A and B are shown apart, each in its own frame.
Chain A
Amino acid sequence: MSIFNQAQTQRRKTNSDDNLIPLINIVFLLLIFFMIAGKIEQIQDAGLTLPENSQTKPAVAQPITLQLSKDNEIHLNNEVVNFEELPDALTQLLQEHPANIAVRADKQVTYQDLDKVLDTLRTAGFSTINLFTLTTEAS
C-alpha cells in the first residue's frame, strides 16, 4: 500500500512539473524578447508630449538634458529650475560636461518661450543644441 502511495505522489510531482514546462518556455521567450528589443534608459518625463518627426536621425543621449513643459516649467537634468536660476545652473554644468545639450520641449510650447530658453543656452556658451523629437513612421 505504502509503495503504491509513494509511486502515486512521485507521479503527481513529475506531472505538475511537466505542466510548468510550457509556461517556462513562454516566460523565457518573453524575457528574451524584452532583453533584446527593449532599451533600458533613464526615465525622463516631466509630463511632456514631444513633437513628432518622421525624419530619423537617431538621438544621441546628451549629458545635459533640459525639459520645457507646456506650463513653462524647466527641468534641468530632472531637477526643477527657475528661469532666473537657469544661467547659473548651466554655467556649473558646463564646467563638467561638453557644450552639447538635449532640449526636450513639449509640442505645445510656443516659440517665444522656447526662444528665451534657447537664448539663455546660447549665452551660456552651448555650441550644439539638439531638439529632441519622437520618431514616427513616415506616411
Chain B
Amino acid sequence: MSTLLLPQRRKQSISLTALIDVVFILLMFFMLTSSFTKFSALEMQSSLAASTASDSKPQLLRLALDGQLSSEQTTALTDSALTSDFDISVPTVLQPTPDTQVQVIVDALSRMKTLGFTQVTLGKSRPQANLAAGQQ
C-alpha cells in the first residue's frame, strides 16, 4: 500500500565507466608498488657476541677465491670432512681471502648452515700466504 504512495521512479542504470576508472587506478597502484622478490637473510653474530657466548676457542676455516674451504691441515674440505673434523656446535670463524666475492661467501655460509654449523662468523680477511697464524 505504502509503496503505491511513493512517486514512481524511473529505473536508471548506473554507468560502469566510473567504476572502471577507480578499479584501473587501484590496479595501477598495486601493480607499481607490489614486489614479488623474496629475500632471505644470513644472520651473523658479531665476533664480540660470538666469543662471549662460548668459552671454547673458535675453529678457523679459510675460504679460497673459488669457494673451497680449507683448514690449516687440509685443503679443499669435502662435506664429510667438514662434519667429521670439526665440531658443528663450536663457534666457527670463516676467513675469506681479501678478493673473495660476496656471492662465494654467501655460498660457503649457506653450505655450512646446511651441514649444521650453528655459529658461523666472518673473521678478518687475510692474504693467502700467511693464513696459518690465523686469529679472529
Residues of A participating in the B interface, judged by any CB pair closer than 8 Å: 13-14, 17, 20-21, 23-24, 27-28, 30-31, 34-35, 37-41, 43, 50-60, 102, 105-112, 114-115, 118, 121-122, 126-135
- What total of chain B residues lie within 8 Å of the partner, measured CB to CB? 47
Complex CA–CA separation, A133 to B42 (angstroms): 8
Q: Determine the chain A residues whose CB is within 8 A of the CB of B38 once the complex forms.
A: 56, 58, 134-135
Whether A130 pairs with B43 at a CB distance below 8 angstroms is yes
A-B contact pairs, 27 of them (CB 8 A): A20-B16, A27-B24, A30-B27, A31-B26, A31-B30, A38-B35, A50-B39, A51-B105, A51-B106, A52-B106, A56-B40, A57-B42, A58-B39, A59-B39, A60-B41, A108-B103, A110-B98, A111-B100, A111-B101, A111-B102, A118-B122, A127-B46, A127-B49, A132-B39, A133-B41, A134-B40, A135-B39
Which A residues are CB-close (under 8 A) to B107? 51, 53
Given contacts A14-B13, A59-B39, contact A115 B102 (CB under 8 A): no
Q: Does B129 contact A (CB under 8 A)?
A: no
Contacts of A21 in B (CB 8 A): 16
Residue of B nearest to A56 (CB): B40
Decide yes or no: A27 and B27 within 8 Å by CB, A40-B33, A107-B101, A127-B46 being known contacts. yes
Q: Which residues of B contact A135 (CB under 8 A)?
A: 38-40
* Nearest chain B residue, comparing its CB with the CB of A104: B39
From B30, B35, B49, B100, contact of A41 by CB (8 A): B35
User: Which chain B residues have a beta carbon within 8 Å of chain A's beta carbons?
Assistant: 13, 15-17, 19-20, 23-24, 26-27, 30-31, 33-49, 96-103, 105-107, 109-110, 113-114, 122, 124-125
B113 touches A122 (CB 8 A): no
B42, B45, B49, B125, most chain A CB atoms within 10 A: B42
B27 interface neighbour in A34, A114, A133, Cβ under 8 Å: A34
Contact of A115 among B13, B101, B122 (CB under 8 A): B122
| Known contacts A24-B23, A27-B24, A112-B125; is-contact A128 B44 (Cβ 8 Å) | yes
